[in-house]
Structure 1
Amino acid sequence: MNRMNVKKFGFAIGFTGALVYAGCMIVLATVSKEAGISFFNSLLHGLDTTSIIRMDVPLLEAFFGIVQTFILGWLIGACIAAFYNVQIRK
């Protein structure tokens, strides 16, 4: 079996997470609060997002959120690839 490149897989997962975060930002920036609640309620299968959706997120907070999402995604992806590589050695 082939080994996974830890850095590349980490980047792929981190970038995918950042894209999802950016998509969420775009949805909330372009629709009304009610439409956003309806969208995320249907996406999250019965979880009521009414009390947790904020429409007035400051730009700096959104920037830090997308950066943190990328970093966490990179770490998760790198761990998955590293654990995979360790398992195929055996």
Structure 2
Amino acid sequence: MYRLNVKKLGFAFGLTGALIYLGCMIVMATAGREGTIAFFNSLLHGLDTTNIIRMDVPVLEVLMGIVQTFILWWLIGACIGGFYNTQIKKR
């Protein structure tokens, strides 16, 4: 059975999470407040995001968010790879 490279899977998850974060930034930058609220309300099955959408996010907070998102998703991917590999029978 094929074993996963834990670091590479973690990196792939991390980049995917960062890409999603950047997509969110693009939506917020182009759609404006009302468009952003409408987008995330529809994405989240009608959950009202009006009170939690903040449009004046400082640049440092955005950069920290990208880094934190990458790290979180790297850890998730590495855990999935590690858990998967432990389930494979060794020959």
TM-score, normalized by the shorter chain, greater than 0.5: yes
Shift in Å, 1:46: 1.6
The 10-residue stretch of structure 1 (30-39 or 3-12) with the greater mean CA deviation from structure 2: 30-39
Percent identical: 73
Shift in Å, 1:63: 0.3
5+ unaligned residues in a row in structure 1: which ranges?
none
Residue number in structure 2 paired with 1:43: 43
1:68 corresponds to 2:68: yes
C-alpha distance in 1 between matches for 2:86 and 2:20: 29
Residue number in structure 2 paired with 1:11: 11
Shift in Å, 1:29: 1.0
Residue by residue over 1:8-40, the C-alpha shift from the partner in whole angstroms, topping out at 9 and shown as x without a partner, is 000000100000000001110112201110011
SS at match of 2:88: helix
Residue number in structure 2 paired with 1:34: 34
Paired letter, 2:53: I
With the length of structure 2 as denominator, give the TM-score of the two structures: 0.96
SS at match of 2:49: coil
SS at match of 1:37: helix
Please, what is the CA RMSD of the aligned residues?
0.9
